[in-house]
Amino acid sequence: MKKAAIIGAGIAGIATAIHLANKGYKVEVFEANNYAGGKLSEFWKDGFRYDAGPSLFTLPERVEELILQSGKKVEDYFSYKKLETINKYFWEDGTKLEASADTETFAKQVEAKLGEPKENILKFLKSSKEKYDLTADLFLTRSLHKAETYFNKTALKAFSQIWKLELFKTMNQANSLIFEKEKTVQLFNRYATYNGSSPYVAPALLNVIPHLEFNKGAFLPTEGMFDITKSLVKLGQDLGVIYHFDKKVEEIIIDKNQNKITGIKVKDSKKEETQTEELDFDIVVSNMDVVHTYKKLLPKEKAPEFLLQQQKSSSALIFYWGMNAEYKELDLHNIFFTKEYKKEFNALFNGKTLYEDPTIYIFVSSKHIKTDAPEGCENWFVMINAPHNLNDGSQDWDTWIKKAKQDIIKKLERILMRNVEENIISESILDPRKIELRTSSLGGSLYGNSSNNRYAAFLRHANFSKTKGLYFCGGSVHPGGGIPLALSSAKIVGEMIEKI
């Protein structure tokens, strides 16, 4: 039986393991942490449960598809619900907007609260759908590094309607043309942050993202985001996948003469002094950040430096607060906008620093999952965008985090007109340094490369390499970060590797 090793139990590694098990491989996953999921993990503290990373779930069919392809029933592994309210938005001048999942209702809500003609919203969402329909199959489900991707009906259709993609406008330019009100522009510009980019630089093509939330829907797994990880690990195990936790891969072994991988060197993550173990494999798939894969696991190989040096996506600073109160003003997803959006992105991408009046995102899973917080309490996941960690000592993270906490509390108290600070009874903090340490993603970037470049889609590393038997999956390679794309990368790898 041929053997495949997966380096990392991030969501893409977990999904790749399923694809390969279904193809008849004996699959082993090596994970440096003592838990699965990488960024998509959870933790408990003081009676509160928190999803540590992702909070927004779109395209659940990508998870269902894996279960069905494995010949299993979805209901035996995974369940989720569709959200009726997608987001609540708050501005400093007291404006509040509830975004319904029903597009007609949402358009009316925007007209009533922001003064934006509802036709503009409907026109925008229609064009968002058109962009998605033209490009999704091409960019998200195939390798961009194979000629056949460009010579088929889907590609021809996209090229024949290329003007609809607004390739030569930034997201902000496109949104400023379609919308009359600054707040509407800001609301839709925020979708650039869904892959860690700036709307003032990223191409208007990223306007496909609102289509996912507003037209296709936003969802929440019944037991929280971590349920995606748990369900797919269980599915893999049922198919025979073996998980090794606390096992750090130190090197990918290559037979230079045959230009093919022959195995990996693995070490116990907890015991530095232990010897590395050499294990033979026919296939190796790295779910580790591609930059670190080359630098740490393939130090003798020639790395594709140009691709590896592309700008990284933004990172995040998160305060997980156990709140000793309930805030009826909040929903599951809540956004508190900055007054100066452009300045915020300038600080993040040019200044490489936190912004003093950041846009704040709060996710409260206990609004839907009551067991996530003690009675009368709420579990707040409070996130602001952060630059990635430069690792050069120029960023004073500890001082910045203390200041950011105070800036966030003051802003929330101003807008909610309620005390926040006195209700925080438990706290954990995640910053770019810790994200890098825990998941190995370069500088703690959330989504691999940023899309702050018109050609970004073509500047991500392919899912295969020149070395026979070596493949890449996950947010740092094609087609990019975020759960749906990480799952797509796994599917592309699965399709590239032949059945045995």
**Using CB under 6 A as the criterion, which residues of the chain lie in contact with ligand FAD when the complex forms?**
7-13, 30-33, 38-40, 53-56, 248-249, 287-288, 316, 318, 435, 439-441, 446-447, 474-475, 481-483, 486
Nearest to ligand FAD of 208, 288 (CB atom): 288
Nearest to ligand FAD of 271, 499 (CB atom): 271
Nearest to ligand FAD of 11, 138 (CB atom): 11
Cβ neighbours, 10 Å, residue 461: 22
Residue (of 257, 261, 320) closest to 285 by Cα position: 261
CB of 294 to ligand FAD, least distance (A): 12
Burial class of 272 by CB neighbour count within 10 A (0 to 12, 13 to 18, 19+): exposed
Name the helix (H) or strand (E) containing 335: strand 333-336
Nearest to ligand FAD of 113, 387 (CB atom): 387
Cα 226 to Cα 176: distance, rounded to the nearest angstrom: 37
CB of 111 to ligand FAD, least distance (A): 28
Cβ-contact 225, 363 below 8 angstroms? no
CB of 309 to ligand FAD, least distance (A): 19
CB of 433 to ligand FAD, least distance (A): 13
Q: How many helices (H) and strands (E) does the chain have?
A: 15, 19
CA distances from residue 426 to 39, 97, 385 in whole angstroms, order as listed: 21, 29, 22
CB of 120 to ligand FAD, least distance (A): 26
Cβ-contact 114, 181 below 8 angstroms? yes
CB of 418 to ligand FAD, least distance (A): 25
Cα 489 to Cα 481: distance, rounded to the nearest angstrom: 9
Name the helix (H) or strand (E) containing 411: helix 397-416
One-character DSSP codes across 243-303: EETTEEEEEEEEETTTTEEEEEEEEETT-TTSPPEEEE-SEEEE-S-HHHIIIII-TTSPP
Nearest to ligand FAD of 60, 158 (CB atom): 60
Cα 344 to Cα 92: distance, rounded to the nearest angstrom: 15
Nearest to ligand FAD of 40, 201 (CB atom): 40
Nearest to ligand FAD of 114, 440 (CB atom): 440
Query: What six digits make up the tokens of 377?
Result: 């309490």
Cβ-contact 261, 468 below 8 angstroms? yes
| CA angle, residues 381, 383, 386, in degrees to nearest 5 | 155
CB of 52 to ligand FAD, least distance (A): 7
Nearest to ligand FAD of 32, 377 (CB atom): 32
CB of 115 to ligand FAD, least distance (A): 29
Cβ-contact 383, 331 below 8 angstroms? no
CB of 425 to ligand FAD, least distance (A): 22
Nearest to ligand FAD of 290, 424 (CB atom): 290
Nearest to ligand FAD of 287, 465 (CB atom): 287
Strands 80-82 and 260-268: unpaired
CB of 67 to ligand FAD, least distance (A): 18
